[in-house]
Amino acid sequence: MSTKQSESVSAESIDSQSAASIHLENLGKTFDTKEGTEEVFSGIDLDIEPGTFVCLLGKSGSGKSTMLNIVSNVLEPTEGRVVFRNRDGSEDVNLGHVFQSPRLLPWNTCVQNIEYVHENNPDYEDSHAKRYLDLVGLKNHYNKYPTQLSGGQQQRVGIARALSIDPGVLLMDEPFSNLDEITAEGLREELVRVWQKLDKTVFFVTHDMTEAIQLSDRILMLGKGRIYGDLENPLDRPRELDSNEFLEFRQKAIRLFHSIED
Ligand SMILES: Nc1ncnc2c1ncn2[C@@H]1O[C@H](COP(=O)(O)OP(=O)(O)OP(=O)(O)O)[C@@H](O)[C@H]1O
């Protein structure tokens, strides 16, 4: 999805489900270890509107992955709960996952890596995978294997795969942190473009403030067991990373980020 590439991208043929809201109700997590009990966070209440791009930011060890794993349903909270709701009020929300590394099956082509997550769908056709590969700019790579793709292209397949299940919520765990900065920046621009075309709520974990400001509508800061910062992003899109507005907001956000002691 680098901006240098001009592969055609079309979302017209994609029938996207509406975005879902996310509600964290009195959420808490404690781990029992040999060293004793460790509370990561407690009493967290949050409402995230459908269609919002949220970034969760925190220092190392603040509990970002723990929270994402609870929201992903991989970990049980110690207290509280997470509720997802479609715009029609129903709670059967699909969750899409994009991981730090793309986790592609090396013996499968791009199309087969997407087909894999649809194996229980008798109506699935390869044209479905191809539509999502087109969407992320991989029109000419349908039958390539992961080793024949760059790191950025592999992560695009990961994004296409997550979107192909038509999630109401897309959960992303530092998906660009293993890429060089130029590739990561291009991918961020493309992610925003795709998000603007499809109606999705995105919950994106990062430790990078510039990334959070480039992407988000709302920035949540996690530390000392609570959400200590909750900032609306006032910047219009598209965002210029070197504009005065961007740099001023970044400075304000960084000040808030460091307002909590290590
Ligand atoms: N399975 C576990 N058992 C015990 N403690 C855990 C477990 N998982 C995480 N922790 C602890 O919970 C705290 C938060 O960890 P977590 O991985 O969520 O932080 P993080 O913000 O994602 O950090 P990083 O940015 O370094 O990945 C840490 O102190 C960690 O040691």
Q: Which domains does the chain have, with CATH numbers?
A: 21-94+169-257 (3.40.50.300), 105-165 (no CATH)
Q: For residue 119, how far is its CA from the centre of ligand 1 (angstroms)? A: 33
Residues with CB under 6 A from ligand 1: 31, 33, 38, 40, 58, 60-66, 207
| Contact partners, residue 197, CB within 8 Å, separation at least 6 | 11, 14, 135
Mean pLDDT of 3-11: 41
Q: For residue 63, how far is its CA from the centre of ligand 1 (angstroms)? A: 5
Calpha distance 233→218 (Å, rounded): 5
Q: Which residue puts its alpha carbon closest to atom 14 of ligand 1?
A: 63
Mean pLDDT of 234-246: 96
Average pLDDT of the chain?
93
Q: Are 135 and 163 spatial neighbours (Cβ–Cβ below 8 Å)?
A: yes
pLDDT reported for residue 188: 96
pLDDT reported for residue 16: 73
ipTM: 0.98
pLDDT at 10 over 60: no
Q: Which residue puts its alpha carbon closest to atom 28 of ligand 1?
A: 61
Q: Which of 41, 62, 101, 220 to mutate to test ligand 1, by most ligand atoms within 8 A of the CB atom?
A: 62
Q: For residue 236, how far is its CA from the centre of ligand 1 (angstroms)? A: 34
| Contact partners, residue 35, CB within 8 Å, separation at least 6 | none
Q: What would the pLDDT profile of 135-192 be if each residue is shown by its tens digit?
A: 999 999 999 999 999 999 999 999 999 999 999 999 999 999 999 999 999 999 999 9
Beta-carbon count within 10 A of 17 CB: 16
Q: For residue 27, how far is its CA from the centre of ligand 1 (angstroms)? A: 16
